[in-house]
């Protein structure tokens, strides 16, 4: 059985959890909760599983492990091709990869930057992983600025599209959705005038995979 190391309160593994749900695999994969609040990811036991001290981790039936959303989802896409979540023809596959990258770099990382460089509970934990890094308050400010611009960018992308990468739901929507839900939890406000983004968000919110 495939094993998925998860944490229900964290936005990175949520992407993989939602991906698994969209593939209809929720009950076929063993889920192990890692308690990030108690820093279980930094324990020697978990370090043996993942030296990078992060979730998600996906462990295949033959014991191979992947330590990033990118690696976990790539494996699941090829092992369980239906429904496709990374595009079908070469143009769509490339557009999904392109948008997935943008959602992560311009969105997900920016939200993380704003939180991790300001939350009192994350002092010295400005980056995930085994090493401690001091918070940089200016980076929290810059992260907040970037998140605002990200909302505008996503709204623009959705001008002539139902989904982030075109006419089909994909991993790019999952990353964008997990990013924006997380930003919402952190009290970022989606601008009133971002009507495409609001319409898209309502659409994605109606998917059962957002509830897992």
Q: Which residues bind a second copy (CB under 8 A)?
A: 51-52, 60, 62, 64, 66-75, 78-79, 90-91, 93-102, 106, 126-127, 129, 131, 133-134, 136, 138-139, 142, 145-146, 149, 156
Q: Which is nearer to a second copy, 70 or 190 (CB)?
A: 70
Structure-token pair, residue 35: 């308690």
Q: How far is the CB of 142 from a second copy (least distance, A)?
A: 6
Residue 115 CB coordination number (10 Å):
21
SS3 65: strand
Helix, strand and coil in the chain, % to nearest 5 = 55, 10, 35
Q: Which is nearer to a second copy, 156 or 185 (CB)?
A: 156
Cα(15)–Cα(19) distance, rounded to whole angstroms? 6
Q: How far is the CB of 1 from a second copy (least distance, A)?
A: 16
Q: How far is the CB of 94 from a second copy (least distance, A)?
A: 4
Residue 167 CB coordination number (10 Å):
9
Q: Which is nearer to a second copy, 25 or 203 (CB)?
A: 25
Q: How far is the CB of 208 from a second copy (least distance, A)?
A: 26
In 3D space, the residue among 129, 134, 116 whose CA is nearest the CA of residue 186 turns out to be: 116
Q: Which is nearer to a second copy, 70 or 212 (CB)?
A: 70
Cα(66)–Cα(74) distance, rounded to whole angstroms? 10
């Amino acid at each position: 059985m495939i094993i998925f190391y998860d944490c229900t309160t964290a936005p990175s593994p949520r992407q993989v959890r939602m991906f698994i749900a969209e593939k209809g695999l929720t009950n076929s994969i063993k889920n192990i909760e890692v308690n990030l609040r108690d820093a279980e990811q930094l324990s020697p036991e978990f370090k043996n599983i993942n030296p990078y001290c992060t979730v998600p981790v996906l462990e295949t039936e033959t014991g191979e492990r992947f330590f990033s959303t990118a690696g976990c989802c790539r494996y699941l896409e090829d092992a369980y091709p239906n429904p496709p979540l990374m595009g079908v023809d070469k143009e769509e596959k490339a557009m999904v990869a392109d948008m997935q990258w943008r959602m992560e770099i311009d969105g997900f990382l920016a939200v993380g930057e704003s939180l991790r460089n300001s939350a009192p509970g994350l002092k010295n934990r400005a980056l995930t992983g085994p090493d401690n890094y001091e918070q940089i308050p200016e980076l929290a400010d810059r992260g907040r600025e970037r998140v605002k611009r990200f909302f505008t960018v996503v709204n623009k992308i959705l001008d002539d599209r139902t989904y982030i990468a075109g006419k089909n739901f994909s991993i790019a929507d999952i990353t964008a959705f997990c990013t924006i839900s997380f930003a919402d939890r952190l009290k970022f406000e989606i601008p009133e005038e971002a009507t495409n983004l609001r319409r898209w968000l309502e659409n994605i919110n109606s998917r059962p995979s957002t509830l897992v």
